[in-house]
Structure 1
Amino acid sequence: MIQKCKMALLLAVLVIAGSLLMPVNSLAQEVETKAKSAILVDAETGDILFQKEAELTLPPASMTKMMTEYLVMEAIEEGDISWDTTTQISDYPYSISANPSFSGVGLTQNKEYTVRALYEAMAINSDNATAIALAELIAGSEGEFVKMMNEKAAELGMEDYQFVNSTGLSNSDLGDNVPEGTSADDTNLMSAHAAATLAYHLVNDYPEALEISGTPTTQFDGQEIQNWNWMIPGMPGYLSDFGYEGVDGLKTGYTEMAGNTFTGTAKQDGQRLISVVMKTASREERFEETRKLFDYGFEQFETQELYATGYQMENSTSLPVTKGKENSVAIETGEALSTMVKEGEEDSYSIEYELEEEELTAPVESGQQVGQAKLVYDGELPDGNIVKENPNTVPVVTTSAVEKSNWFMLTLGGIGGFFGDLFTGAVDMVKGWF
C-alpha cells in the first residue's frame, strides 16, 4: 500500500514538473477552422492575428452590402442625403422585392421610404431591393453606383475584389437589369482579406453602422424584421443559443455559389476584433467557426503597452544640432506604442527608429517631430496588416527647444572653422615634405 502511494506521489510530481518545464508558447493553443477562407484582425490596429487562405478570391454574397453601407454613410456625412431623405421604389428594385427567391421585406411602389428605413432593412434583414434603391438614390443608377464601389475599394486599399452590383447577388439573377458596364456572367468577388479591410474602415470611419447592424429585430413598414446575424446577444427564440458577448455586426451572406459567409465583429473589455469566414457549409457553421476565431482572439491576445511615451532608444537618445546654442537635443517617442500581443510572445517585439535627418539645424522646437518609431515583430504570427499605413508607429520628437545661436557666435564659429581648416591643410602640407 505504501509502495503504491509512493508511486502515485512520484507520478504527480513528474506531471507537475513537466507542466512547469513546458515552453510558454506551447500553452497558447492555435485555432483551426472548417471555412475555406478566413481571417481575424485587431479592429484598432488592423494587425492580422490569424489567417487561412485569406487572399483567395471568392463570391462574398451579401457581404457585398458592406460597401453599399459605407457609401450610404459617406453620402450622409458629405450632406448629399440624410437619414430623413425619402425616395420611391423604381421598377427594378420592385421586381427584385417581388421575387420570392430573394430575401426581401416586400416593398411597395408609389410610396415614400426614408433612407433610414431602407438602410435598416438592408443592414439588418439583408434585403436586396432596398440596397438597389439606395444605390439608385445616391448614383442615379446601379451601374454608376458600381463604379463608385470599385473606386472606393481602391481608395480604401482593398485588394482582390470585384464589385458588379450593390447586393451580392449574381448578375445572372438580375435578368434585364444587369448594371451597365458589367455582364450577366459577372459576380461580385472578394477575398477574406479584402472583406476585413472593408469592415475595418466601416467600423472605424462610421461606428454608427454598428448601432444598426447590432439590432436583433426592428419594425419595417408595419412588420417585424429579424437580423440574420444570430451571434448578436438577445436574438429571439432558439437563435439566442448562438449569441456571443460583444457581437454587434456585421454582415452575413449566402448564395449557392458563395456558400455561407460572415463578417463578424465583437468587442470585449475594450478590445474589438473583426473576423471573416467564407465558404462554410451551413448558416450554423459560419457562426460556429466565427466563435472559434473570437475565442482564440479574446483568450490568447490582449492589448499591451510595449513602449511608453517618452521612451528613448538605446544608442539613439539624441540628434546633433548645428547653428544652435546647444550642440545636440534629446529625442524620445511622442506617444506610447501598444498592440495586441499573443500570450507568451511579449519578448518578440522590438522598436526601430526611422529618422528624417541625421542632423538638425537650429532653431529646433520642443516636441518637433524628427522621425517615427515602429514596432518590429519577430515571431510566428501572420506577418501583415490589412491597412496600408502601419498603425504600429508613433512620432519621434525632441524633448526640448534649441535656440539659434546669435550672429556673433556664428561668425566666430565660422572664423574658427576657416582657420581650423587652414591649419589642418598646413599640417598636411608640412607632413608631405618629410
Structure 2
Amino acid sequence: MLGVPVNNAVLRRLPLFLWLFCITAAAGALDPGAAAPSLRSQAAVLLDAATGTVLYSKNGDEPISPASLTKLMTIHLALKDSESGKTSLDTVVSLPRETWAINQPPRSSLMFLAQGQTVTLGELLLGLAVSSGNDAAVAVALHLAPSVDAFAERMTAEAKALGLENTSFVEPSGISEYNMTTAMDYARFCRIYITLHPETLEQLHSVPSFAYPKPENLPEIYRQRPGTIEQYNRNALLRSYSGVDGLKTGYIDEAGYNIALTARRDGTRLIAVILGGPANLGSQEGERIRRADSTALLDWGFEYFKTLRPVVAELPPVRIWKGTENSASVVPGETLERTIISDRGDGLRWEARINEPVTAPLTAGSSVGDLVFLDTQGELFRVPLVLQDDQPQGNVFKRLWDSIRLFFRSLGKKN
C-alpha cells in the first residue's frame, strides 16, 4: 500500500474502464534489450495486471472468436448480479430442457446437467470454470435473462460498457464462431475481471477438478448410484507453471486453441491472452503449441519486467501565496505503481519538485509540480503532484502583502 493517498476525488470521477485502461510506463520505452518470443499462435497480448502496461502484442487487434474464453463474461455477469443482490451463489437454478447435456451441440464440453437435478448457481460457475460446461453456460444465461439471445445481448452491452469495442457475443458458452474479440480486448477484460472478482482465482479458476453430479444433486431414487463424473481443470499450466492461478482455455475449429492466463511471481502479476493456436495439426499438437506459446510468453515477461510499488511516507506541504492558508497538502495525482525493466529500481528515492510560486485561488486536483522517482541509473518516472483541497483566494490585505513579498523574493533571485 502507498504511504500517501492517490487523489481519489479525481479517480472517482473516472469510469472503471477508463481507470483500468490507463497504461503507464517508466520514463522512456520499456525496451528489455532482448528479443520478444516468436509465437506460433495467431495473436497474443501480454499485460502487467497492476498497471495495464502492454508488454507484448502480436496481431493484438485482429478479430478472432474467443471460443470458451466467452465463459469468463458469463461468469462475470453472474457474479455482478450476485454482488448486487439480484441472485445468490446459493440460489437453486432451474434446469429447463435447453440446459440438459443431451441437448447441447455435438462435441460440447459438458458439466452433465440433466432433468430433475438440483444445482446452485455457485456449482454452475464451477462447472463453467473447471469443466467448461456449455450446458452450465446455458443454465446461467436462462437464470439471469429471459432467453439465451437476451443474455447474449447483455454480454455484448457489458463489453461495450467496459470499453471493449471489438468484442461481441451471440451466445454464452463460446461454441459459436460468431462470438468475436481481439487479444487486446480480452486481455483488458481479464484485467477488469481480476480486479472486480479477485476471489475467483482461488475459488474457481485454480480449482484442480470438479465432480458432478453428486448425490445431493439428484432425486432420492438415484442417490445410491449418482454416476459422478470428475473432470480436471482444462488449464494444464495450473499444474506445470509456477504462479499460474487462472483463467480459461478455449477451442473451436474456427478459432483454434485459445487461452487466457494469469500468473503471479515476486509481486508481479501478468495477464496473457493467446488466440488462434493452430487447429489443423491435431489436438495433441495444438495443445502442445498452446502450452509452449504460453510458457514462452510468461517466461519472457517475468524475466524482463516487474511491477514497482513505491512507498512515500509523507509529502511536505507546499507554500500557498495570496490564499486564506499559507500552506496546503499535496498528493500524487496518479497511482504510483509502474511497470519497469527488471534491472531498474535499485536504490529508489523520490523528490518533490514544486512549480513555484503556487498562487491561490486553486481547486482540489490542480497540479502544482511533480513527484519524481529516481534509482541508481537516473530518473525512472514522474507523476503530477496535486492539491488535496481547494485553496480559495485570501482577502485584499493578504493578497497585497503576499504580492509585496513575492516582488522582493523575485529581486533576491535575480541578484
Tell me if both proteins adopt one fold, taking TM over 0.5 as the criterion: yes
| Aligned twin of 1:397 | 387
Query: Over residues 305-361 of structure 1, what are the superposed CA-to-partner deviations in whole Å (9 max), with x where a residue is unaligned?
Result: 56846579xxxx9575334353x65756378723121245779xx999999x97423
> The residue matched to 1:190 in structure 2 has which SS?
coil
Greater CA drift, 266-275 or 102-111: 102-111
Matches of 2:131 and 2:93, distance apart in 1? 19
Assess if the C-alpha contact under 8 Å between 2:45 and 2:60 holds in 1: yes
Structure 1 unaligned segments of length 5 or more: list them: 1-23, 172-186, 234-242, 377-391, 421-434
Assess if the C-alpha contact under 8 Å between 1:200 and 1:274 holds in 2: yes
CA offset at residue 45 of structure 1? 1.3
CA offset at residue 396 of structure 1? 2.3
Assess if the C-alpha contact under 8 Å between 2:360 and 2:392 holds in 1: no
The verdict on how the C-alpha distance between 1:60 and 1:394 changes in structure 2, with shifts beyond 3 A counting, is farther
Mapped pair 1:215 → 2:215: no
Residues 403-418 of structure 1: matches in 2 within 5 Å?
410-412=395-397
1:121 pairs with one of 113, 127, 150: 127
> The residue matched to 1:287 in structure 2 has which SS?
helix
1:302 pairs with one of 299, 306, 321: 306
2:270 pairs with one of 269, 273, 278: 273
Residues 319-330 of structure 1: matches in 2 within 5 Å?
320-324=320-324, 326=326
Query: Over residues 238-270 of structure 1, what are the superposed CA-to-partner deviations in whole Å (9 max), with x where a residue is unaligned?
Result: xxxxx1001111111100000000011111122
1:148 pairs with one of 150, 154, 158: 154
Matches of 1:170 and 1:403, distance apart in 2? 59
* Counterpart amino acid of residue 243 in structure 2: G
Matches of 2:210 and 2:106, distance apart in 1? 21
Query: Over residues 98-152 of structure 1, what are the superposed CA-to-partner deviations in whole Å (9 max), with x where a residue is unaligned?
Result: 5552111322112221111111111111110110110100112111111211111
Mapped pair 1:225 → 2:231: yes
The verdict on how the C-alpha distance between 1:325 and 1:261 changes in structure 2, with shifts beyond 3 A counting, is closer
> The residue matched to 2:185 in structure 1 has which SS?
helix
Query: Over residues 355-413 of structure 1, what are the superposed CA-to-partner deviations in whole Å (9 max), with x where a residue is unaligned?
Result: 9x974238x9xxx643498999xxxxxxxxxxxxxxx9676236x997975xxxx3546
> The residue matched to 1:154 in structure 2 has which SS?
helix
Residues 112-261 of structure 1: matches in 2 within 5 Å?
112-170=118-176, 187-211=178-202, 212-221=204-213, 222-233=228-239, 243-261=240-258
Assess if the C-alpha contact under 8 Å between 2:31 and 2:341 holds in 1: no
| Aligned twin of 2:292 | 288
Residues 419-434 of structure 1: matches in 2 within 5 Å?
none
Assess if the C-alpha contact under 8 Å between 1:65 and 1:131 holds in 2: yes
Matches of 1:149 and 1:272, distance apart in 2? 26
The verdict on how the C-alpha distance between 1:373 and 1:218 changes in structure 2, with shifts beyond 3 A counting, is farther
Assess if the C-alpha contact under 8 Å between 1:372 and 1:395 holds in 2: yes
The verdict on how the C-alpha distance between 1:375 and 1:152 changes in structure 2, with shifts beyond 3 A counting, is farther
- Structure number with higher helix proportion: 1
Assess if the C-alpha contact under 8 Å between 1:39 and 1:50 holds in 2: yes
Matches of 1:26 and 1:413, distance apart in 2? 53
> The residue matched to 1:297 in structure 2 has which SS?
helix
Matches of 1:73 and 1:142, distance apart in 2? 18
Matches of 2:267 and 2:290, distance apart in 1? 25
Assess if the C-alpha contact under 8 Å between 1:38 and 1:275 holds in 2: yes
The verdict on how the C-alpha distance between 1:107 and 1:29 changes in structure 2, with shifts beyond 3 A counting, is same
The verdict on how the C-alpha distance between 1:304 and 1:324 changes in structure 2, with shifts beyond 3 A counting, is same
* Counterpart amino acid of residue 200 in structure 1: R
| Aligned twin of 1:361 | 361
Matches of 1:302 and 1:128, distance apart in 2? 37
* Counterpart amino acid of residue 207 in structure 1: P
CA offset at residue 57 of structure 1? 0.7
1:37 pairs with one of 7, 29, 43: 43
Matches of 1:44 and 1:159, distance apart in 2? 22
Assess if the C-alpha contact under 8 Å between 2:368 and 2:385 holds in 1: yes
CA offset at residue 28 of structure 1? 3.5
Assess if the C-alpha contact under 8 Å between 2:371 and 2:383 holds in 1: yes
Assess if the C-alpha contact under 8 Å between 2:99 and 2:136 holds in 1: yes
CA offset at residue 159 of structure 1? 2.4
Assess if the C-alpha contact under 8 Å between 2:309 and 2:337 holds in 1: yes
Matches of 2:245 and 2:128, distance apart in 1? 15
* Aligned-residue CA RMSD (Å): 3.8
CA offset at residue 219 of structure 1? 1.5
Higher-RCO chain (CA-CA 8 Å, sequence separation at least 6): 2
* Paired positions, count: 340
Assess if the C-alpha contact under 8 Å between 1:58 and 1:258 holds in 2: yes
The verdict on how the C-alpha distance between 1:74 and 1:353 changes in structure 2, with shifts beyond 3 A counting, is farther
Assess if the C-alpha contact under 8 Å between 2:360 and 2:391 holds in 1: no
> The residue matched to 1:273 in structure 2 has which SS?
strand
Higher radius of gyration, 1 or 2 = 1
The verdict on how the C-alpha distance between 1:395 and 1:25 changes in structure 2, with shifts beyond 3 A counting, is closer
Structure 2 unaligned segments of length 5 or more: list them: 1-29, 214-227, 279-285, 373-381, 405-415
- TM-score normalized by structure 1? 0.68
